Structure 1
């Protein structure tokens, strides 16, 4: 009876979790299985990756349009500013990814 009580508790716990939402999937042998839907906030990894990609494309576009000397002059002028401007200069400095994207944009626009 003790094992039966544990099994009933486990089944009831699983049913309570399923009541908050579930996803059904079909097993390899055709059995339909209900899995508990994950609850709670999830971290938006895709959104953050998209923001980083857009930022690098923006930097590459600026570098290709302004030219390397003008772009670097503006970054240097930011480095002499306030702490926030210095942080912006660090973020906007030309890195290898930005230079590569800039070259790709320049080759497409020509």
Structure 2
């Protein structure tokens, strides 16, 4: 192959890689010289778009939900239901582990009790 052919194939390969990166989304920006450029959108560790902020909001909502349940049914009833859930299938035992009371949900339940009408 000649030098020009090698250079051509290198350019084609570089364009193919860039196109493959742009398929997953792109951000466009205007350079100082007036050229509009598309750059591949950055993804969070290759996941399906779940950001750290969204994950933190889900955890917060889950803890708030647990606090609400503790207020709604009472701490003793809540603990008995979680214990009964822990005696079930392995999936239910995992759910019971996630639903067990911890200091944050207890504190939230205590604060919610004070707001209760």
TM-score (norm 2): 0.60
Aligned pairs for 1:4-23 (under 5 A) are: none
- The residue that corresponds to 2:98 in the other structure is 91
**Aligned partner of residue 88 in structure 2, secondary structure:** coil
Change (3 A) 1:96 1:62: same
1:102 equivalent to 2:109? Answer yes
**Aligned partner of residue 107 in structure 1, secondary structure:** helix
1:71 equivalent to 2:74? Answer no
CA RMSD, Structure 1 to Structure 2 (Å): 3.8
**Aligned partner of residue 107 in structure 2, secondary structure:** helix
Partners of 1:22 and 1:88 in 2: how far apart? 39
Question: Moved runs in structure 1, 4+ residues, more than 2 A?
Answer: 19-25, 34-46
**More contact order relative to length (CA 8 Å, sep ≥ 6):** 1
Contact conserved, 2:27 with 2:38, CA < 8 A, in 1?
yes
Partners of 1:77 and 1:42 in 2: how far apart? 35
Aligned length: 109
Partners of 2:69 and 2:112 in 1: how far apart? 10
Change (3 A) 1:39 1:80: closer
TM-score (norm 1): 0.63
